[in-house]
């Protein structure tokens, strides 16, 4: 493997070329996906644009599995930026020229990169697919980035995160209401008891949005490996 090169596309229509060893995370500021994602009636895959709370904009995806990985990235407090199809990578591998466009590049608050490729477990039974995904990982790790081939996560956790994502957008719940709610939460109290106590004479559903928004933001936590319910125990994050 030698001479790996990268091309990054920007929102002003330009494309910049880099050698992979000189590529840095700030080089992605103002970039756009390498391919234009379009959803067409009758197509086999499910493509679209996800409104990300992390980026404050839309992030493209090309399958439901990619959308699931996007949800988890958006929910992850360590992730501060998400780039879909961040670049086109070309390298000579075992005597052959190989091209690859990764699915996502995640940038963490610690200014580290994580390159992510999303493939179903069934596709990973194909050795050709496994080989095609291996060499970008070698380059990523050599570059100091983490590398991940993602095939799914616990269904219950995904369902919980998908539900909480309805409260991800700033302004869905007024900030002052969330602050009041957070101040009144008792560490270790079940969700149903918290709702009853905070609601007082009001219907419980009136206080629920603030609690869900706090769970999305990570200011309150609970065990998301179990179905979110009235028995879910709340923990305040200091």
Tell me, what's the pLDDT at 95? 86
**Pair type for strands 2-9 and 88-93:** antiparallel
pLDDT for res 15: 98
Query: 78-88 pLDDT, tens per residue?
Result: 999 999 999 99
Give 75's Cβ-side CA count (13 Å radius).
25
For residue range 96-139, what is the model confidence (pLDDT) as tens digits? 899 999 999 999 999 999 999 999 999 999 999 999 999 999 99
Q: Give the pLDDT score at 44.
A: 54
pLDDT (mean) for 210-219? 97
Closest CA relative to residue 102, chosen from 167, 162, 148: 148
pLDDT tens digits for range 189-205: 999 999 999 999 999 89
Residue 212: burial class (beta carbons within 10 Å; 0-12, 13-18, 19+): buried
Q: What is the predicted pLDDT for the residue at 237?
A: 87
> pLDDT tens-digit profile of 147-191?
999 999 999 999 999 999 999 998 889 999 999 999 999 999 999
Q: What is the largest CA-CA distance in the chain?
A: 73
Predicted structure pTM score: 0.92
Give the model's pLDDT for residue 65.
97
Task: List residues bridging with 58 in a β-sheet.
Answer: 51
Cβ atoms of 115 and 136 within 8 Å: the answer is yes
pLDDT at 104: 98
Q: What does DSSP say about strands 113-118 and 146-150: parallel, antiparallel, or unpaired?
A: parallel
Which residue segments constitute the domains of the chain, with CATH numbers given? Answer: 2-150 (3.40.1350.10), 155-236 (1.10.10)
How far apart are alpha carbons 211 and 181 in whole angstroms? 7
- Residues 233 and 189: beta-carbon distance below 8 Å: yes
């Amino acid at each position: 493997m030698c001479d790996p090169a990268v091309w990054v596309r920007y929102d002003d229509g330009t494309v910049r070329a880099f050698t992979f060893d000189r590529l840095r995370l700030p080089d992605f500021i103002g970039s756009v996906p390498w391919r234009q994602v379009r959803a067409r009636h009758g197509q086999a895959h499910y493509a679209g644009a996800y409104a990300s709370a992390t980026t404050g904009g839309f992030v493209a995806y090309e399958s439901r599995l990619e959308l699931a990985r996007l949800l988890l990235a958006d929910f992850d407090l360590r992730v501060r930026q998400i780039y879909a199809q961040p670049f086109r990578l070309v390298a000579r591998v075992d005597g052959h020229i190989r091209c690859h466009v990764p699915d996502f590049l995640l940038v963490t608050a610690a200014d580290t990169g994580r390159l992510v490729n999303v493939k179903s477990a069934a596709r990973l039974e194909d050795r050709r697919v496994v080989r095609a995904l291996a060499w970008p990982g070698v380059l990523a790790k050599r570059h100091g980035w983490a590398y991940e081939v993602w095939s799914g996560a616990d269904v219950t956790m995904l369902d919980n995160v998908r539900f909480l994502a309805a409260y991800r957008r700033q302004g869905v719940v007024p900030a002052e209401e969330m602050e009041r709610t957070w101040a009144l939460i008792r560490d270790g109290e079940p969700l149903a008891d918290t709702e009853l106590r905070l609601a007082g004479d009001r219907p419980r559903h009136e206080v629920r949005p603030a609690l869900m928004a706090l769970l999305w933001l990570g200011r309150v936590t609970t065990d998301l490996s179990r179905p979110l319910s009235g028995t879910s125990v709340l923990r305040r994050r200091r």
